[in-house]
Amino acid sequence: MSTLKEIFKDYPFNIMSGNPTNVEIKKIVSDSRRVESGSLFIAVSGGSIDGHNYIPDAISRGAEAVVGEQPISGGITVPYIQVQNSRQSLAHLAAAFHGHPARKLTMVGVTGTDGKTTTSNLLYRILLAAGIRAGMISTVNAVIGEEILDTGFHVTTPDALDIQQYLAKMVEAGLTHVILEATSHGLAQYRVDACEFDIGVITNITHEHLDYHGSYENYWAAKARLFESLTDVHPKIQSNIKLAVLNRDDDSYEYLKDITSVKQVCYGLNASADVQAKDVKVRPSGNEFTILCGNDPVPVKSKLVGQFNVSNCLAAFTAAVVGLGISTEIAAEAISAMESVPGRMERIDLGQVFTAIVDFAHTPNALKATLQTARQMTDGRLIVIFGSAGLRDRQKRRLMAEVASELADVVILTAEDPRTESLEDILDEMVEGAVGKGGIEQKTFWKIPDRGEAIRRAAQMARPGDLVISCGKGHEQSMCFGEIEYPWDDRKAMRSALADLLDLPPIEMPYLPSQGK
């Protein structure tokens, strides 16, 4: 518990009006429905909802104080603090309420379009192997010692209130290091502000989220916020590292190199990379390569397949060895020991005569890399199932269909979180991309709206030696139709389809409205 005055003690921005008093604050919320007696309600504007409209409701529920960015003219019975940006203030005030936990931790932020979760998991495993008490906050879950907390639906960084609460729990649990996966939405919406990052890691920047950011330039700028924040970190007892880990092979390198003012180190296959992979052998069973870091070459064997995972391994290795001082041997051994990441090139095997895989690839670049890898894993046909989300970057629909038509033998277009858009309209846009690359419906590609039926059909079409891969959902546990999240797991759907095919005890196919039942 803190007072409003204490919470604002280190507030880094100007207060427009109002006076933080000594009123006691038991909780910070940005949703008036969660207000309890003693809460500080922060009114956030954004999207279709303006939190300022809910200030009376928050006060009636027991809010002791309110923070907002709009002027309030009378009629408010509790202290009202006007700030310039409510959303950004939310992160800093939440951090203050929890005692600025990030200042007691070594913080590593991982961002990029593709590979964030894999890189975060690799780095987490390296830290554990080195005997470091580490935690992780990803788009999949928050790992605090033995406790694993679900961070919610779909692929976005948790909100600022949750992040600061997780960090506080990590401090309380005696952890010393945290890996935090930072999405472009999380960065643009200030959710990871006040996280006091010591190391920033970039995987890549490719085509994604232009519906939200409006332009490629804005998307890049959102990612850049992680690296710009490295210059303004509160002094820490464990010393401040201030290191940017950049991808020398990616188009983002020159941009981030120029805007980052702290120490930099780059990784890649590029000969000018500070940490370089050489003698790369990409095999269906995994990757073998040698890392040049300093004077001694370090041999690495990884069970993660695909050349893109060589890059992910390099990113984690560089952050661990150069940034955190972990030995090259421990880092290499931890990378070699990691079996897989949930929903990332995850094999589903019930004894069928073909390979079945579930992967998260949901961008044109990721789909291209995934299908190129899948092609190397089979001498048979490559059958891919995927969709494109509603209310998201529309350009992806055509681009992903084009990529799949060029690289796969059989393409099945299906649902992927249509939300309030027409699923049929989304699929029609994807069909245009497939046809534009010479695709022929009912011959090289099929349009099957129901995702369960699409996966089932792919399994039925597969011959011995083929590879069936369902892309776009990976580890996710729901699919959105309208405004409702329906329980959904591609891995369970694939197992259900395989059980039907093999006449095994039935596994229930998850329900979606597209089943028409």
Same domain, 367 and 243: no
Do residues 67 and 41 lie in contact, with contact meaning Cβ atoms separated by under 8 Å? yes
Query: Is the pLDDT reported for residue 16 higher than 60?
Result: yes
Strand partners, 81: 67
Do residues 85 and 15 lie in contact, with contact meaning Cβ atoms separated by under 8 Å? no
253 φ/ψ angles, rounded to the nearest 5 degrees: -60, -55
Which residue, of 97, 121, 139, is where some domain finishes?
97
Q: What CATH number does the domain containing 235 carry?
A: 3.40.1190.10
Q: Strand 297-302's sheet: what is its strand order?
A: 147-150, 141-144, 134-137, 177-181, 106-111, 199-202, 243-247, 263-268, 275-283, 286-292, 297-302
Same domain, 205 and 115: yes
Element (H, E) at 96: helix 86-97
Which residue, of 278, 313, 337, is where some domain finishes?
337
Do residues 262 and 230 lie in contact, with contact meaning Cβ atoms separated by under 8 Å? yes
- Looking at residue 162, its pLDDT comes to 93
Same domain, 81 and 177: no
Give the residue, 249 or 365, on which the prediction is more confident: 249
The tokens for 324 are: 């955190």
Sign of the dihedral defined by the CA atoms of residues 391, 395, 396, 400, in that order: positive
The total of structural domains in the chain comes to 3
Which residue, of 315, 337, 359, is where some domain finishes?
337
Same domain, 88 and 142: no
- The answer for residues whose C-beta is within 8 angstroms of residue 484's C-beta and 6 or more apart is none
Same domain, 376 and 446: yes
Same domain, 318 and 354: no
- Find the range with the poorest average confidence among 42-51, 172-181, 216-225, 330-339: 216-225
- Find the range with the poorest average confidence among 139-148, 304-313, 501-510: 139-148
Same domain, 325 and 389: no
- Give the integer Cα–Cα distance in Å for 433 and 431: 5
Same domain, 105 and 90: no
- Structural domain that includes position 143: 101-337
Do residues 405 and 364 lie in contact, with contact meaning Cβ atoms separated by under 8 Å? no
- Find the range with the poorest average confidence among 186-190, 420-424, 479-483: 186-190
pLDDT, tens digit, 9 for 90 and up, residues 443-497: 999 999 999 999 999 999 999 999 999 999 998 999 999 999 999 999 999 999 9
- Looking at residue 213, its pLDDT comes to 46
**CA 364 vs CA 255, 367, 459, 472: distances in Å:** 21, 5, 24, 11
Supply the DSSP symbol for 511.
P
Its pTM stands at 0.86
Same domain, 441 and 319: no
Phi-psi region of 472 (alpha: psi -120 to 50; beta: other; left: phi over 0): left
Residues of the chain with pLDDT > 90, as a percent, come to 80
Sign of the dihedral defined by the CA atoms of residues 155, 161, 163, 166, in that order: negative
Helix (H, G, I), strand (E, B) or coil at 58: helix
Q: Which of 89, 66, 117 is nearest to 193 (CA)?
A: 89
* Residue-level length of the chain: 517
Query: Is the pLDDT reported for residue 25 higher than 50?
Result: yes
Highest mean pLDDT among 209-213, 282-286, 366-370, 405-409: 405-409
Same domain, 330 and 351: no
Same domain, 143 and 239: yes
Same domain, 208 and 356: no
Side chain identity at residue 398, one-letter code: R
Q: What CATH number does the domain containing 461 carry?
A: 3.90.190.20
- Looking at residue 402, its pLDDT comes to 97
Side chain identity at residue 512, one-letter code: L
